[in-house]
Chains A and B, each alone.
Chain A
Amino acid sequence: SQTIHQWPATLVQPVGSPLSLECTVEGTSNPNLYWYRQAAGRGLQLLFYSVGIGQISSEVPQNLSASRPQDRQFILSSKKLLLSDSGFYLCAWSRESYEQYFGPGTRLTVT
């Protein structure tokens, strides 16, 4: 069966520091991968998605970037965090255009 991992589970970082969140998927190959940010009362906002290694599409211009160095690895990064980057970040995968499956998420607090 397929599983999706995210780490770290929680992270507290000062403003201006770099960020790297990692997501890996097991048990499938060539998945579509997604990064979302979840804000209270606002649902999930799609940040990035990828249909293959090195292929990244950005949905929202912002202080973040994403990379897919390996087939089942998806990384969310920032060079300099802002206070507004605080939130709950979710990674998801899907098989082509079918339903998406979500990871446990990372709670990021920027201080």
Chain B
Amino acid sequence: AQSVSQHNHHVILSEAASLELGCNYSYGGTVNLFWYVQYPGQHLQLLLKYFSGDPLVKGIKGFEAEFIKSKFSFNLRKPSVQWSDTAEYFCAVKGNAGNMLTFGGGTRLMVKP
């Protein structure tokens, strides 16, 4: 069975600081990887995704993530965070053969102005 681990449960940063949120997964086959974000009071929405090709993927709002197959990781990064990035971030993995997403426990990011 696949599993996803997000090691940072709560992160507090000041504006303009760099961000890296860890995501590791456990799955033996080809995977599709996702980062979702949930802003306060809003829907869970897709931030970025990896299906194949360039392992460095760019998403909305300046976020990017790098798929490192050897490390089973898909860390989310942003060079300079803004107060508006305060949200909860979820990493998710889907095996290539199925439809089901497995989510990590989420990371709550608070950006102080």
Contacts from A to B (Cβ < 8 Å): 32, 41-46, 49, 51, 59, 90, 94, 96-97, 99-105
Contact = CB atoms under 8 A, between A and B. Distances in A.
B61 to A, nearest CB: 17
A49 B99 contact: yes
Interface of B: 4, 6, 9, 32, 34, 36, 43-46, 49, 90, 92, 94, 96, 98-106
Q: Tell me what chain B mostly uses at the interface: helix, strand, loop, or mixed.
A: strand
A23 to B, nearest CB: 13
B99 A32 contact: yes
Contacts of A102: 36, 43-45
Contacts, number: 48
A43 B106 contact: yes
Nearest to A102: B44
Nearest to A39: B105
B100 A43 contact: no
Contact of A99 (B9, B43, B46, B102): B46
Given A46-B102, A97-B98, A102-B44, 13 more contacts: A41-B105, A41-B106, A42-B105, A43-B106, A44-B90, A44-B92, A44-B101, A45-B103, A46-B100, A96-B99, A97-B94, A102-B36, A104-B43
Nearest to A90: B44
B104 A43 contact: yes
